[in-house]
Structure 1
C-alpha cells in the first residue's frame, strides 16, 4: 500500500484570481498634459501571481497541501455585509463593472463571482484547520479584504475575507472565540467596524500610524459596550522595521492572545510593511516576516493548538512581495526552499531593522490596554 504524505500546511491559489480587472489607475490616472504616462493600478494582482510562480519554481509547492477552491455562496458574504451593498456590486459586476465604494477600487465584469472564490478559499482553509486536516495554512487570495466594511468596499477590497471567516467560525463551525491579528501595514478598519461592540471576536491591528485610512486606527479606538477593550490598535511609527514588529508582538499581541485564549487565530496577511513597498514607509524584510510568522506560530501553539489561518491582504511591490509571501509559507511549513533573500544585498545595508527608542515608547504606552481583554 502506498502511504499518502500528510502535510501540516495548506495552500490555496487559483490563476483566476490573477485575472482581477483593476482597469485604469484612478489613483494615478494618465494625463499627457501633465506628463503622466499610463500605468498599471497599484493593486494589480501581478504581485500575487508572481508569488505563486515563485512558490512553484522553488519547489515549495511540494511541501504544502494544495486545496481546491470552492466558491463561497452569497449567504456567506451576508454574514458581515449588508444586502444592499452586495446587491449593488453583484449588479454592476454583471452589467458594466464598477467600484467597490471609494472611487479607487475598480472592478470589472464577473468580479462578484471572482470575489466569491477568494471568500471560498478563506472558508475552505478555515474548515481544514478547524477539522484538523492541517495545522495551519495560507490562502493567497485576490482581491484583498480587510478594508471592506459592512456597507461598502474600500482600499482595493470588495468583501472582508477575514471577518467573514471569523463569523463563519462562530456561527457555522461552533467556535466560541476568534482572534483576528491584522499584520497589514494599513489599519484593519473593516473588522474593527464589524466587531466594534462584540467580545467574541478579538480584533488586533498592527499598522503604520495614520497611513490608511488616515483617520482610523488610533490607539484610543478600543471598541464599545461589551466590545470595549476587544478592539486593540497598535499604530507603529513610520520607519519601523523587524525589531519593532517583533517587540510589539512579544509585548502586546502575545500577552493579549494568552489572556483571550481564542479557539483559532486568523491573520490578515499584508506584506506592505516590507521595505520596498510603494504605499507605506515601514522597513520589514522578507526574513523579518519569517521571524514574525514564527512568533505567531509560537503563540498559536500555546493557545489554539497551533491553529493559524493566514489570508493574503496587501503588498504592492511586484519584486519583493513574492519573496515575503514565500518566506511566510516556508515558515508555516517548516521547510526552506529559497536559500536566501535575493534582494538581501540591497536591503540589508539600509536603515530600519533595529528597535529605536521612540518605537519602544509607542509600544510600551499600550501595555495597560492588554489588561482590559
Structure 2
C-alpha cells in the first residue's frame, strides 16, 4: 500500500484568503470526520512555516517585504512550508505521495508580483528546494484550477526540465490551447464543464505526457474554484476529486 501524508496547519484554515476560507477548514475537517487518519497508510503532519531564505529562491526581496506588510504573510509561510515539507518526505522515500491543504493560492504569483489570492509560488518554490537539497532535476506540474497559471508559466517559461500542463478557462493564455512552446514543455488545454468531461480531458492529455517526460516528482495543483458551488466554470462535484 502506498504511504500518504496529509499536511495542514490551523493557520491555513483560520487565516485563509477570503474566498478559500470555508473550503480550507471545512475540507480538512471533512477528512477527519471521514476517518481517513485511521488508515494506517495515511499520516497527518502539521505544516511547518517556510523561512524567508526559502522564499527568496524565487521571489525578489522587494516583493517579500511587501507581502510581509500584509495580513497574508503568516498563512503564506505555513502554506509554502507544508509543500516543502511534503516534498522532502516524498524525495526521502518516507512517503509515496502527499496532500497539502494550503490557505492561499500560488499559481498567479510571479517573482515580483501576484494577484488572485496568491502571494508566493506555493508549489513552484518546491522545485528549487528539491534541486538544492536532493539534486532532483525534472518536475511535472499539472494544474486543474479554473484559471490560467500565469505565475507558474512565467517563472518556469525558460526551464525545459519543468513540464507544465494547465487546464484553464479560455482567457489570459500566453499560448493557444493545445499549443507547445519551443521546448515543448508548456501546454494549455481547455478544462471540462462537468465531472466526466474534466476527467476525460485530464486522462487524454496528462498520463502519457508525464510518463514520457520522466519527472523526478509530479505536483498537482487542484485549485479551489473548480467545485460547482464555487466561482469557477468547471462545476465539479465532490465525486470528481478522488477520481482525478
Structure 1 position 68, deviation (Å): 2.7
Aligned residues: 242
Paired residue secondary structure (1:199)? coil
Question: Are 2:172 and 1:231 aligned?
Answer: no
- 2:99 corresponds, among 138, 143, 152, to 138
In the alignment, the residues of structure 1 paired with residue 227 and residue 48 of structure 2 have an alpha-carbon distance, to the nearest angstrom, of: 31
Paired residue secondary structure (2:166)? strand
Say if 1:44 and 1:162 are closer, same or farther in 2 by CA, change over 3 A: closer
Say if 1:290 and 1:44 are closer, same or farther in 2 by CA, change over 3 A: closer
Structure 1 position 221, deviation (Å): 6.3
Q: Radius of gyration: which is bigger?
A: 1
Say if 1:7 and 1:198 are closer, same or farther in 2 by CA, change over 3 A: closer
Query: What is the aligned partner in structure 2 of residue 9 from structure 1?
Result: 4
- 2:138 corresponds, among 165, 177, 188, to 177
Task: In structure 2, list runs of 5 or more residues that go unmatched.
Answer: none
Query: What is the aligned partner in structure 2 of residue 100 from structure 1?
Result: none
Query: What is the aligned partner in structure 2 of residue 127 from structure 1?
Result: 88
Question: Are 2:9 and 1:48 aligned?
Answer: no
Normalising by the residue count of structure 1, what TM-score does the alignment of the two structures yield? 0.61
Query: What is the aligned partner in structure 2 of residue 241 from structure 1?
Result: 194
Preserved CA contact (<8 Å) 1:187 1:216: no
In the alignment, the residues of structure 2 paired with residue 151 and residue 65 of structure 1 have an alpha-carbon distance, to the nearest angstrom, of: 35
In the alignment, the residues of structure 1 paired with residue 122 and residue 154 of structure 2 have an alpha-carbon distance, to the nearest angstrom, of: 14
Query: What is the aligned partner in structure 2 of residue 26 from structure 1?
Result: none
Task: In structure 1, list runs of 5 or more residues that go unmatched.
Answer: 1-5, 23-40, 98-107, 293-373
Preserved CA contact (<8 Å) 1:122 1:139: yes
In the alignment, the residues of structure 1 paired with residue 212 and residue 173 of structure 2 have an alpha-carbon distance, to the nearest angstrom, of: 29
Moved over 3 A (4+): 214-218, 220-224
Paired residue secondary structure (2:221)? strand
Say if 1:215 and 1:250 are closer, same or farther in 2 by CA, change over 3 A: closer
- 2:63 corresponds, among 85, 89, 93, to 85
- 2:160 corresponds, among 199, 203, 206, to 199
Question: Are 2:238 and 1:286 aligned?
Answer: yes
Preserved CA contact (<8 Å) 1:85 1:151: yes
Q: How large is the Cα RMSD of the aligned pairs?
A: 2.1
Query: What is the aligned partner in structure 1 of residue 14 from structure 2?
Result: 19
Query: What is the aligned partner in structure 2 of residue 276 from structure 1?
Result: 229
